[in-house]
Structures are given as C-alpha cells and as structure tokens.
C-alpha cells in the first residue's frame, strides 16, 4: 500500500514536469524571464523527482537519471550566472519573443528540454507499472487539473505567446543580443 502511494505521488510529479516542459518546448505557455529567474528551485524539485523516481524507488535507468541530475544541478548552481544558464533562461521565457534571436533555432536548448521530457516520460512509465489502470487515470486527471489551474490560470504569470495580458506584458523586457 505504502509503495503504491509513493509511486502515485511520484507519477503525478513526473507527469506535471512533463506537461510543464512540453508547454515550454512547444512555446505554448511561458513565463517572463524575471519570474523564471525567481523559480530557480523548481529545477531542484525537478531533479529531486527524478532522483526519487529512479535512484530511490524503481532503481531503473539510473544512468539516465544521473545525466539528468547533472544537467539540472548545473542550472541550479549557476542560475543566471553563466552563458549556458542564461541562454536556457532566455530561451524558456516570454522575453525571448522580444529578442532579435527569436527566429533562430537554439538546438541545444531544444535538445536539452527534449531530453528532460524524455526522462520524465520514461520515469512515469516505470512508476505506472506499480499502479492500477484506475490509479494511473486518476493521477492523469489530478495532474491535468493542477496544470490547468497553475499553468493556465489567471493568477500566475504563465502566458501564451499569442495572448499576453497587459499585467504580464509589463514584466517582459527585451533580451540583450548576448546571453
């Protein structure tokens, strides 16, 4: 029973991270850079989720989890300080839409975010094997509802590039051409 509860909570977290990263990757919902800078420790929570899912709970795909953990710890430690950290911050933000580099393909950011999505999906699949179909569906429903409230709600600064409310628009600043 306790094992299923842990698997259920970890599955919800992995699914939530997957949705969040997909929304950024496909430019569906983004935050202003200044807000993204403030949620630095989300990347630590993201890392801890993979650590718990792979290293502590399932014991599966540890090598992949270690690669993801190294990637995320770099961003946690050097947040908004190094070229690569600033680059992923810029690319992941609404401010990027005001950047002269808007139409450039940032393959390293795309590949890195895709890798992260892949790790979360793989961890979710591993965790799902501990749960019944009903529990998996319930986890999907809860994650969908929480993502809707947090990522699509009017209370937070997440916005669609095609419609940015005025109060969020005021938070966006042009990005310098160098990272």
Residue-wise pLDDT for 49-83, tens only, equals 999 999 999 999 999 999 999 999 999 999 999 99
How far is residue 10's CA from residue 134's CA, in Å, rounded to a whole number?
Answer: 16
For 1-21, what is the mean pLDDT?
97
Dihedral (C-alpha) 129, 130, 131, 136: value to the nearest 10 degrees? -50
pTM given for the model: 0.93
- 178: confidence class by pLDDT, cuts 50, 70, 90: low
pLDDT tops 60 at residue 179:
no
């Amino acid at each position: 029973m306790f094992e299923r509860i842990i698997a259920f909570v970890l599955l919800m977290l992995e699914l939530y991270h997957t949705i969040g990263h997909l929304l950024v990757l496909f430019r569906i919902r983004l935050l202003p850079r200044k807000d993204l800078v403030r949620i630095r420790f989300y990347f630590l929570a993201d890392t801890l989720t993979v650590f718990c899912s792979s290293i502590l709970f399932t014991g599966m795909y540890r090598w992949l989890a270690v690669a993801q953990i190294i990637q995320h710890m770099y961003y946690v430690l050097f947040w908004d300080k190094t070229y690569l950290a600033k680059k992923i911050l810029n690319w992941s933000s609404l401010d990027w839409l005001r950047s002269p580099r808007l139409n450039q393909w940032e393959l390293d950011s795309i590949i890195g975010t895709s890798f992260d999505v892949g790790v979360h999906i793989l961890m979710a699949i591993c965790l799902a094997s501990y749960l019944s179909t009903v529990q998996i569906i319930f986890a999907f429903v809860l994650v969908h509802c929480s993502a809707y409230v947090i990522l699509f709600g009017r209370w937070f600064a997440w916005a669609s590039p095609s419609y940015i409310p005025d109060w969020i628009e005021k938070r966006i600043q042009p990005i310098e051409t160098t990272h």
